[in-house]
Structure 1
């Protein structure tokens, strides 16, 4: 990974990255996999974690370059002063098309690494809106008011519209072109590759106050696999209208 290609913004206090899917935000306990934080440490030396994204979630993430900036930025996440917007593709067509999920989240009592809805959990609030609907799938916008682990994923499962390719809270199945196009033909010598084979969630924008009290919004374009999937879904949708 060439770090410079993923930098959205940086100054003496922080660096903002458009994190690719499949890369850990910070090192895991075993420390065997590459992480974004490790790459940043190689480039900048000292680096501080402000918040995290799931490994398979792409999009905007901030790291601080010094302790003062780390404290200033982290406090905004703790006080819920940041504005976080995500995009994602879910299975089905949510009804109503706009709403909120207010359901507390707690660690799963049996399954390690999973979360669950439970009354004894921490408060969690997610607003959702359908941006475009394609029948089998829908393109969504999410605004999270809290930052619980797997919040969007578990809230969408809770209302019956899990995220595409979510192995923990959905069916884990990728989107295949052959499933979208009945006449799709693949060479008998080739194995079909999914057009979207990872968790369909992207941190699209983050609004935060920077040191110096300047509010700024950072935006990360959806990655190529998501854009290609939406393009195919739109083509099929238009064909059905004819």
Structure 2
């Protein structure tokens, strides 16, 4: 995998903070099992005191807020704690689903080893709002607004609505293959068809937060190449 330069990922920057478009397959923080690169390491090569203000799953792309100094980190951390940061994600899900301001309010329990479950008894409060953006024959593009920030929140909340994210095999999602959406599709006998997107289809599209006591910023991240290609093929073959 080609390791990107942080400068090429920056969507917003001032003296204290930056928002980057995190590529898929790069962890937000250093992983216990090692690994060559993380967003934290890339950020600290660019700015020695950099701190990651929140996490995105390794496969998730999109808006990631990075503080350049401890005061800026505290400013953003307090906004997350008070649920003042507005986050908007786009997810492509299997099947047709009509969501109009659907509030899913189901507590999430972290059961360890990067796994979570819904637990009304022991889970922590978790709320997400879903709206359908675009309908295809076999899929739906969903706008997701997590009010809380639990691990795997959007993924498991969508799964509870039987709207699993495409490619998210942990929560029942099936990958998108060109053979499923294109009427005439041929593959050589000895070749194995690969999914259009080699990860689950979740992208942190937009983030809004205060950069100081008075000023708020809204930053939007364009789709990375794999997500953009998937949408382009669906627009062409699955309408």
Structure-2-length-normalised TM-score: 0.92
> 1:74-223 counterparts in 2 under 5 A?
74-108=77-111, 112-119=113-120, 120-171=122-173, 173-188=174-189, 191-223=192-224
Deviation at 1:116, TM superposition (A): 0.7
Q: What residue in structure 2 maps to residue 70 of structure 1?
A: 73
* SS of residue matched to 2:218: strand
Q: What residue in structure 2 maps to residue 12 of structure 1?
A: 15
The separation in 2 between residues aligned to 1:204 and 1:154, in whole angstroms, is 19
Deviation at 1:221, TM superposition (A): 0.7
Structure-1-length-normalised TM-score: 0.91
Deviation at 1:40, TM superposition (A): 1.1
The separation in 2 between residues aligned to 1:49 and 1:61, in whole angstroms, is 8
The separation in 2 between residues aligned to 1:131 and 1:95, in whole angstroms, is 9
Deviation at 1:228, TM superposition (A): 1.6
Decide whether aligned partners of structure 1 residues 96 and 13 sit closer, same or farther in structure 2, where only a CA change above 3 A counts. Answer: closer
**Preserved CA contact (<8 Å) 2:110 2:116:** yes
Deviation at 1:190, TM superposition (A): 5.0
Identify unmatched segments of 5+ residues in structure 1: none
* SS of residue matched to 1:208: strand
Deviation at 1:174, TM superposition (A): 2.3
**Preserved CA contact (<8 Å) 1:104 1:122:** yes
Deviation at 1:170, TM superposition (A): 1.9
**Preserved CA contact (<8 Å) 1:13 1:211:** no
Aligned length: 235
Identify unmatched segments of 5+ residues in structure 2: none
Aligned pair 1:42/2:45, yes or no? Answer: yes
